[in-house]
Amino acid sequence: MLHFDAINPNFEPWIANFILVDGRRLASCDAGPTSPVFTEDYLTSMRTASETIFRHDTLNYMTKEYSIELKPLFSAFQMKPLALTTIRSFLLYYLPLLQPKVEDDDNDFLPDDERHVDLVVPFKKSLKQILRETSVVTTRRVLERFAVHYFSQRAAWKLLKDVPKSALRKSNRGMPFYTYTFCVGRTTFRGHFLGVAASWLVQVGIECYRCVRDIAKTENEGEDVDIVVYKGERAKVLGKRVCGITVRCGASLVFASIGAGIGATLLRPKTGQSLGCLLGDMVGPIIVSFCFANVPHLEL
């Protein structure tokens, strides 16, 4: 409350302004004495009350900071990741060749050329696998930068957070097991989304390249075929393959989230989450392909 002299120094004695204070109608002017309610003690108490009203405990809390650490764009080509990718790719295609074959008496009569094991084809497949995995990782790094640039800081942090560490932090909150399983699964879904999206983009890009290559090869060879019909059939095949890739990637994402939640609940948080996510990522596409294989007129 301010005295009227501070508001209008030329306030006339015969002019009064009525104010409601504590339900009472009061008036103050320059001619008469100041009302007791406008003393210094009363103004001090009103100032203290206003500070108490506008002060809230939430003002003492600090704003949550979202720390985002981007990995290098070409991290897939660093020494350690590239070495692991190379070893895994070569083992994938060369281990089946090392398995002992069942001896058959009929094989004794085969010439030596037919017994020879072809090592060139597995080598080419291994190189393609290395190129595919490095492309997926690099595409994910590009998507991460896209998310940081175009999404909000909170959304980008949820997509890029370290999921095993998040599962460990959630385990210290004393949640019920079903709530903890759901939270870890949801966090894994968000953190695994960019990886699955990168894999989907690379696989669809490869299929589109194969489609364009086959059509261009047919046109250049000048065969007696209907190019328009061939393009239509090839487009249908491409559409089926893209749908199959989408279903498999979606199954991988869903089963990885479920497996991570269950694994973190049954085992240690970090180890269980990583192991469950890996198993779900591998088993999901297999289960979906098996289910579609048993349904007529559906193929993946």
pLDDT tens digits, 164-194: 999 999 988 888 989 999 999 999 999 999 9
Q: Token pair for residue 122?
A: 């597995």
Neighbouring-strand partners of residue 20? 25
pLDDT tens digits, 72-125: 889 889 999 999 999 999 888 888 776 665 554 445 544 554 556 677 888 999
Does one domain contain both 55 and 175?
A: no
CA distance 215 to 224: 14
Q: Token pair for residue 11?
A: 């306030």
Domain membership of residue 263 as a residue range: 161-293
Neighbouring-strand partners of residue 24? 21
CA distance 98 to 106: 21
Helices (H), the chain: 4-7, 40-54, 79-98, 112-115, 120-150, 153-160, 163-171, 177-221, 227-266, 269-293
Whether residue 270 lies inside any domain: the answer is: yes
- Which of 60, 85, 105 terminates a domain? The answer is 60
Whether residue 11 lies inside any domain: the answer is: yes
Q: Dihedral sign for Cα 174, 176, 177, 179, please.
A: negative
CA distance 281 to 259: 8
Confidence of residue 163 (pLDDT cuts 50, 70, 90): very high
* Chain centroid offset of residue 195 CA: 7
Residue 18 is classified by DSSP as: E
CA distances from 168 to 165, 205, 265, 267 (A): 5, 37, 11, 11
Neighbouring-strand partners of residue 13? none
Q: What is the mean pLDDT of residues 206-231?
A: 76
Asked if residue 283 lies in contact with residue 255, where contact means CB atoms within 8 angstroms, the answer is yes
pLDDT tens digits, 51-85: 554 454 444 445 566 677 888 889 889 999 999 99
Whether residue 112 lies inside any domain: the answer is: no
Long-range contacts of 237-246 (CB under 8 A, 24+ apart): 237/211, 238/207, 238/208, 238/211, 240/299, 241/207, 242/204, 242/207, 243/300, 244/299, 244/300, 245/200, 245/203, 245/204, 245/207, 246/200
CA distances from 157 to 71, 187, 191 (A): 13, 11, 9
Whether residue 234 lies inside any domain: the answer is: yes
Domain count, the chain: 2
Whether residue 41 lies inside any domain: the answer is: yes
pLDDT tens digits, 241-270: 999 999 999 999 999 999 999 999 998 899
Question: Tokens 């998040």 belong to which residue?
Answer: 166
Task: Calculate Rg over the CA atoms of the chain.
Answer: 36
Whether residue 37 lies inside any domain: the answer is: yes
Whether residue 169 lies inside any domain: the answer is: yes
Q: Token pair for residue 105?
A: 């008496």
Whether residue 69 lies inside any domain: the answer is: no
Does one domain contain both 48 and 171?
A: no
